[in-house]
Amino acid sequence: MGVFSFWIRWKLKKSLCDKNTYIRISLPAVCFVWQIAMVLLFGIFIRYNEEADAHWVEHKQQHNLTDIDNDFYFRYPSFQDVHVMIFVGFGFLMTFLKRYSFGGVGFNFLIAAFGLQWALLMQGWFHSLDQDTGKIYIGIENLINADFCVAGCLIAYGALLGKVSPVQLMVVTLFGITLYAVEEYIILNLLHCRDAGGSMVIHCFGGYYGLAISWVLYRPNLHQSKHNEGSVYHSDVFAMIGTLFLWMFWPSFNSAITNHGDGQHRAVINTYIALAASVVTAVAISSMFHSKGKLDMVHIQNATLAGGVAMGTSAEFMISPYGALIVGFFMGIISTFGYVIVTPFLAKSLKLQDTCGVHNLHAVPGMLGGFIAAIVAAFASDSVYSHQGLINTFDLTGEYASRTMSTQGGYQAAGTCVAMAFGLIGGAIVGLILKLPIWGDPADDNCFDDEAYWELPEEEEETIAPVLEYNNHMIQKHQDIAESNFSMEEC
């Protein structure tokens, strides 16, 4: 990239040393300590549940079950779709920056792989612990929930993208998973809310968690990395891989842990419809806000997904197909609007640097999705759901048998507030921890640059080197001629 860029690189490398992005000790140390802790804790706590244990063949005979009665067959296809969303969806969506694609997809991979282990334990203690044996018994549903839990942290990563070190991300993930498990326990168990696709517990929590961290870690001189904050043509195409896999598999996300049968079926239909509407309105608003009506890839990559986020909680409800369409319709508008108006406003007035705009894609649509579901729940009735259908959908059994639907709606709204509070307060505290000068985060002028944490192939030099060499050669030659003239003159 020429003399200029070599100079810039050299400066960057120097500042890297100044700011100490040297993570040769801290990153391996954190990885090893935590991974060994996982081995020990898995050894103490985690076992297969009865459907995954070799004893199942006897269990099956005793309970007169057939092969298909294993929950595996009802959940596994959805699980794999969710898995793709976590690793390819989130990972590739974050490759859009021109010089941070390795960090986008690579750190996403690292923290998701670590996070799901910790999530199996944290969620296991809250939801799958057998009081008698003290063991956590896991099956396919635990894997799905672990992936869900990780999604919350990856959303937070979206707000921090390019501005933190991998060690900091491991800390964000450790605390994020922990907070998630607690808020999820409060929302789903104590408040007895329904939240199949996690508008509240995943998107609202994850979005505000990331925003709060980012707010605490505000960098006044981030403009020094402005040359790296943006996309190039091919990085935008890579990001579309992420967008599309998220978009396509969102019906699986919202239906993965809903009730067998009509629950999964309905959640798929609602999400499919809501997402379709988001795309059309996001395109409309994107075009409307450009002076020549051109589309902006940022909106297409993100706002098109807002319908899926907002349907997270109510996907399993009888919101009706047109209800889903209306939700998607408005979410596409609101989210695109957020990218055009709100993000720049927040950056200026609130000093909130939100790299991927998670505010517009997760925080706000997640929160709205929570409140929409509260309204839908409040109006649910026997006539629409059937008596048994209402009980099944909202799991109104045992101590909750007598809860009225308007009460349920109130609890759903309360749950949304709990998720937001956990995100904001938890994020603020984690942000303060991350301000300690020990984490190897990049300097203001080398944010959004893979150079800091990755051994990079020498692409541009490679491509342009021959041109430069040839130019230098020719210029030298003419310089010689010119100078020889000059010297002749002088004589």
- Residues 110-139 within binding reach of a second copy (CB under 8 A): 110, 113-114, 116-117, 120, 138-139
CB of 56 to a second copy, least distance (A): 4
- Token pair belonging to 366: 């997640």
Residue 434 near residue 172, CB atoms below 8 Å: yes
Phi, psi values for residue 12, rounded to 5°: -60, -45
Quote the radius of gyration of the chain (alpha carbons, Å): 26
Residue 291 sits in the site that holds a second copy (CB under 8 A): yes
- Chain positions 167 to 226 lying near a second copy, rule: CB under 8 A, are none
Which of 129, 191, 240, 425 is in the footprint of a second copy by CB under 8 A? Answer: 240
Q: Following DSSP, what letter does each residue of 17-39 receive, concatenated?
A: HHHT---TTHHHHHHHHHHHHHH
Written as six digits, the tokens of 178 are 């922990």
Is 316 in contact with 263 (CB distance < 8 Å)? Answer: yes
Selected from 152, 158, 166, 366, the binder of a second copy by CB under 8 A is 166
100 contacts a second copy (rule: CB under 8 A)? no
Per-residue x/- marks for a second copy, 454-473, CB under 8 A? xxxx-xx-xxx-xxxxxx--
Residue from 15, 48, 182, 400 in contact with a second copy (CB under 8 A): 48
Whose Cβ is closer to a second copy: residue 82's or residue 193's?
82
- Binding to a second copy (CB under 8 A) within 413-442 occurs at 440
Q: What angle do CA 50, 51, 53 make, to 5 degrees?
A: 60
The CA distance from 246 to 301, in Å, is 10
Q: Is 10 in the site for a second copy (CB under 8 A)?
A: no
| Nearest by Cα to 250 from 312, 207, 202 | 312
Judged by CB under 8 A, the chain residues 387 through 416 that form the site for a second copy are 387-390, 392-393
Give SS3 for 86: helix
Decide whether 39 or 438 has the Cβ nearer to a second copy: 39
Select the span of 202-210, 249-257, 408-416, 430-438 touching a second copy (CB under 8 A). 249-257
**Alpha carbon distance 438, 205 (integer Å):** 27
What are the φ/ψ torsions at residue 417 (nearest 5 degrees)? -65, -40
Indicate which single residue of 129, 216, 325, 417 sits in contact with a second copy (rule: CB under 8 A): 325
Among 297, 414, 417, 428, binds a second copy (CB under 8 A): 297
Q: Which range, of 178-186, 187-195, 201-209, 244-252, touches a second copy by CB under 8 A?
A: 244-252
Name residue 136's beta-bridge partners: 46, 129
Q: What is the total count of residues that contact a second copy (CB under 8 A)?
A: 165
Q: Find the binder of a second copy among 195, 236, 354, 449 (CB under 8 A).
A: 236
State residue 55 phi and psi, 5-degree precision. Answer: -70, -10
Strand partners, 137: 47
Nearer to a second copy by C-beta: 208 or 247?
Answer: 247
Q: Pick the closer one to a second copy by CB: 232 or 432.
A: 232
Q: How far is the CB of 178 from a second copy (least distance, A)?
A: 17
- Min dist. Cβ of residue 424 to a second copy (A): 29
Contact in structure between 125 and 182 (CB atoms under 8 Å): no
Residue 283 interacts with a second copy (CB under 8 A)? Answer: yes
**Which H/E stretch holds residue 243?**
helix 233-255
Q: How far is the CB of 421 from a second copy (least distance, A)?
A: 30
270-275-277 Cα angle (round to 5) = 100
Alpha-carbon gap, residue 327 to 305, rounded angstroms:
12
Q: Given CA atoms 456, 462, 464, 468 in this order, what sign does their dihedral have?
A: positive
Among the listed ranges 57-65, 126-134, 214-222, 348-356, the one in contact with a second copy (CB under 8 A) is 57-65
Among 81-89, 185-193, 412-420, 421-429, the segment contacting a second copy (CB under 8 A) = 81-89
